Structure formats: C-alpha cells, structure tokens
C-alpha cells in the first residue's frame, strides 16, 4: 500500500438504552487518505469510487466532512479543520484525472 498522504480524526457517536438510561459512547477513529484509497474504521473506498470531499464548519471545533462516493455521501464529524485533508484529496484527484 502506498504511503499515507493525509489523516484526520473523526468521532463516531453510539447511543443506546441500558438499564432504562440513555448511554452515549463517543469513539475516535482515523480517516486516512492514501494514493489509491480512503480508509475509515469500517470502510475502504478505492480512489476512483470517491468523487469528491467537502466540508461544512459550524464552529471552531465542530465540522462535518463529506465523502462523496459511489455508495452515496458519507458524513464524518471532525473536531479539527479538515481543510488540509480536503486540499490533499483534491490535489491527488486532479493529478489522476
């Protein structure tokens, strides 16, 4: 596998009821961009199947990163500014297409 080009931490929130109480667990995972694929905790997308990456900032530490894929748009909640990840992806895609 070619080297890692960019990585960003995303938050996955799980909500469930336990003993009559709402429980919330937040886990951190890495979304990783390689030369030929994007890897998340439960998914791997080959680069030709990722059409675009975009993001929306709501505050300094609340951002949504959108991965536009052949399976639809997948949303990742990130705390840091995803601008570097997006810029690296777009630069990579433009050299391949």
Task: Report domain extents, the chain.
Answer: 4-96
Q: Report the C-alpha gap between 49 and 54 in whole angstroms.
A: 15
Q: What is the pLDDT of residue 94?
A: 86
Q: What distances in angstroms separate CA 81 from CA 47, 61, 70, one per listed residue?
A: 22, 7, 25
For residue 16, the model assigns a pLDDT of 92
* Joined tokens for residue 82: 């995803």
CATH tag, 4-96: 2.30.29.30
pLDDT of residue 62: 80
Q: Give pLDDT, residue 46.
A: 96
Q: Of all helices (H) and strands (E), which one includes residue 88?
A: helix 83-96
3 state SS of 46? strand
Return the closest-CA partner of residue 93 out of 50, 41, 32.
50
User: What residue ranges of the chain have pLDDT lower than 50?
Assistant: none
């Amino acid at each position: 596998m070619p080297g890692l080009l960019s990585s960003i931490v995303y938050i996955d929130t799980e909500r469930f009821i336990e003993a009559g109480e709402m429980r919330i667990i937040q886990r951190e995972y890495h979304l990783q961009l390689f030369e030929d694929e994007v890897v998340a905790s439960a998914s791997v997308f080959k680069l030709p199947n990722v059409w675009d990456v975009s993001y929306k900032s709501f505050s300094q530490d609340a951002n949504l990163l959108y991965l536009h894929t052949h399976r639809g748009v997948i949303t990742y909640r990130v705390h840091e500014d995803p601008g570097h990840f997006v810029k690296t992806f777009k630069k990579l895609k433009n050299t391949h297409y």
